Amino acid sequence: MPTDTERASFEAGIKFGSLYHQFAGTPVSPDSAESLGRAMEEAIENQPHCVDVDVTVRTDRIAAELDSQSAEYTELTGRFLDVEMRIEYEGVTARTKMEMEGDYPLMRLVAVEE
């Protein structure tokens, strides 16, 4: 049987995959970044064992992308997101983070503490 730290880690992964694939592809601009980030936080915090979600939609990177293209908005993808989450499962706290590793938005399990 999996341990509580493994289950907490699994729950943390679910939240990350959910957040990313629910919202990837959303039309986004610097002006709409704030409301999108807030909705992502509150939506995922509904999920079981999810205590805190902190999303920053990177308006600086969106603005840079818009400079190089014709449309006035783009689609949400990993490089426009900084995310941190805290999951609590049966007394175990799992902390996770998404950050760019080179050109890849890596979802990382930062710490699992009983």
Is 11 labelled a binding residue? yes
Is residue 45 part of the contact set for a second copy (CB under 8 A)? yes
What are 84's two structure tokens?
């941190």
Site for a second copy in 53-92 (CB under 8 A): 69-73, 75, 77
Angle (nearest 5°) at CA 108 between 102 and 112? 155
What phi and psi values does residue 13 have, to the nearest 5 degrees?
-65, -45
State in angstroms the smallest separation of the CB of 22 from a second copy: 4
**H-type helices in the chain, by residue range?**
4-23, 33-45, 59-67
Residue ranges that bind a second copy, judged by CB under 8 A: 1-3, 5-7, 9-29, 31-32, 35-36, 38-48, 69-73, 75, 77, 94, 96, 102-104, 107, 109-112
